[in-house]
Amino acid sequence: MNNNANGIESCSKCVLIINVIVLGIETSCDETAVAIINSNNQVLSNKLYSQIDLHKKFGGVVPEIAARSHVEFLPHLIEEAIDDAKITLENIDAIATTGGPGLIGGVIVGVMYGKTLASCMNKKFIAINHLEGHALVPKMTENIEYPYLLLLVSGGHCQIVMIEELGKYSIIGKTIDDAAGEAFDKVAKLLNLGYPGGPIVEKYAKKGNEKAFEFPKPLLKNGEHNFSFSGLKTAVRNQINKLEAISEQDKADICASFQYTVSEIINYKILQALNLFSAKFPDSKNVVISGGVAANLYLRQKLSENIKNLGYKLFYPPIDLCTDNAVMIAYAGMERLKNGYYSNLGFEPKSRWNLDEIIY
Ligand code: KG4
Ligand code: ZN
């Protein structure tokens, strides 16, 4: 057994973590985020600077603006996070940084900062796959055993994955075009509701009739595990063009019908995926939804009811851990530390990085 000053003890087969502190950095899209957690899963600080106002007027994220803003805000957020946690930089044992996938300029900023801190302060550096952060963070607040079936739905991703154990992930299906969150954002844009679209569409949908308009449900056939949302978005655009003047009630009806359709598609796909999952893991009854769209209460409720009838339980993170944050990156880093995995400083930032391509 080797001891080191950081409270990390290791032998050839195990890593024992005692009072370890991990600092997480997230810069893969339009949120600059820093969090500090300890090995009891306590969040010591959680800082987030959202760039929404910078990108709003463009109707979407502008990569160059995002990267420059990360450069500007990341150092301040790290200082604030350390102050908030009432620790010093020396108390931190490892720096976990999103290493991809994402907008490459932003990922480079986070990785370079994380590597530099780790190297100067002689700390461990752990490059985290952003999707792995989303995939694991529900375990931080709920007692969820491996294996579980994961639906990861965000602005950039929509996929169903078997989470077998840490680092062993098999993708059952994914979107072949738009992600579900992207479709929410585009519908909001078509209706001039603002950005990001998900929360606004959900709010409007509450006042609307979900059967007012019938929208297509692409790729809804037996044995097809992939998703497609671009046809749905086009159908919404065509419907809007057909209406001469759009009233507030029309907007609500479109949002409700769109949200209903997304929910129907997701529910169908999850049931299909459960056939595969239950054949492989008959004893596991855990389904997890994560990513920005998992903040949608309507979707959570429909999915929860649907799978409950089959004996499964739906888990989801608290709303602030659904959308991008650094707690999930710090948590994935801690899980890796507990299993003895670190990255070396030669790690290269990645714009694309599938969940099933993570190599320890
Ligand atoms: O996970 P996230 O913060 O970023 C990515 O990794 O992509 O997800 C952001 C996405 C946006 O598309 C946003 O519109 C969507 O999550 N979103 C929602 C809700 N809250 C955020 N979609 C539907 N309903 C919501 N309540
Ligand atoms: Zn994300």
- Which residues have CB atoms below 5 A from the ion given as ligand 2? 154, 324
β-sheet bridge partners, residue 287:
149, 314
Residue 23: CA count within 13 A, CB half-sphere:
33
Does any domain span residue 277? yes
Query: Residues 253, 332: one domain?
Result: no
Distance 291 CA to ligand 2 centre (A): 6
pLDDT in tens, 98-126: 999 999 999 999 999 999 999 999 999 99
pTM of the predicted protein model: 0.94
**Is residue 95 a contact partner of residue 55, using CB atoms and an 8 Å limit?**
no
Query: Residues 171, 95: one domain?
Result: no
Residue 323 Cβ inside 6 Å of ligand 1? The answer reads yes
Mean pLDDT of 328-350: 95
**Is residue 251 a contact partner of residue 207, using CB atoms and an 8 Å limit?**
no
Counting ligands in written order, which one lies closest to the CA of residue 321? 1
Mean pLDDT of 71-75: 97
Q: What is the pLDDT of residue 244?
A: 82
Residue 30 Cβ inside 6 Å of ligand 1? The answer reads no
Residue 99 Cβ inside 6 Å of ligand 1? The answer reads no
Query: Residues 311, 175: one domain?
Result: yes
Could you give the number of structural domains in the chain? Answer: 2
Query: Residues 182, 108: one domain?
Result: no
- Residue 55 banded pLDDT, cuts 50, 70, 90: confident
Distance CA 68, CA 80 (A): 19
Residue 113 lies in domain:
2-136+322-357
- Residue 52 banded pLDDT, cuts 50, 70, 90: confident
Distance 185 CA to ligand 1 centre (A): 8
**Is residue 183 a contact partner of residue 321, using CB atoms and an 8 Å limit?**
no
Query: Residues 215, 314: one domain?
Result: yes
On the question of pLDDT at 9 being above 70, the answer is: no
Distance CA 36, CA 237 (A): 43
Residue 198 Cβ inside 6 Å of ligand 1? The answer reads yes
Write down the mean pLDDT value for the chain: 93
Q: What is the pLDDT of residue 1?
A: 37
Nearest CA to ligand 1 atom 10: 155
On the question of pLDDT at 62 being above 50, the answer is: yes
Distance CA 235, CA 232 (A): 5
Residue 296 Cβ inside 6 Å of ligand 1? The answer reads yes
Residue 133 Cβ inside 6 Å of ligand 1? The answer reads no
Q: What is the pLDDT of residue 8?
A: 60
Contacts of 296 (CB under 8 A, 6+ apart): 198, 202, 259
Residue type, 40: N
Mean pLDDT of 214-218: 95
On the question of pLDDT at 56 being above 90, the answer is: no
Distance 155 CA to ligand 1 centre (A): 5
Does any domain span residue 114? yes
Does any domain span residue 141? no
On the question of pLDDT at 7 being above 80, the answer is: no
Query: Residues 94, 159: one domain?
Result: no
Query: Residues 59, 114: one domain?
Result: yes
Residue 325 Cβ inside 6 Å of ligand 1? The answer reads no
On the question of pLDDT at 268 being above 80, the answer is: yes
Nearest CA to ligand 1 atom 16: 292
Mean pLDDT of 5-34: 77
φ, ψ at 233 (rounded to 5°): -60, -40
Query: Residues 181, 293: one domain?
Result: yes
- Residue 10 banded pLDDT, cuts 50, 70, 90: low
Distance CA 162, CA 298 (A): 24
Hey, which of 50, 131, 154, 255 would you mutate to test ligand 1's pocket, going by the most ligand atoms within 8 Å of its Cβ?
A: 154
Pick the more confident residue, 132 or 9.
Answer: 132
- Residue 360 banded pLDDT, cuts 50, 70, 90: low
Query: Residues 31, 121: one domain?
Result: yes
Query: Residues 163, 285: one domain?
Result: yes
Angle between helical axes of 230-242 and 248-280 (0-180°, round to 10): 160
Residue 106 Cβ inside 6 Å of ligand 1? The answer reads no
Does any domain span residue 304? yes
Query: Residues 27, 104: one domain?
Result: yes
Hey, which of 293, 299, 301 would you mutate to test ligand 1's pocket, going by the most ligand atoms within 8 Å of its Cβ?
A: 293
Distance 99 CA to ligand 2 centre (A): 13
Q: What is the CATH number of the domain that holds 131?
A: 3.30.420.40
Mean pLDDT of 327-353: 95
Atom of ligand 1 nearest to the CA of 324: 3
Residue 253 Cβ inside 6 Å of ligand 1? The answer reads no
Atom of ligand 1 nearest to the CA of 295: 26
Mean pLDDT of 299-323: 97
Query: Residues 157, 205: one domain?
Result: yes
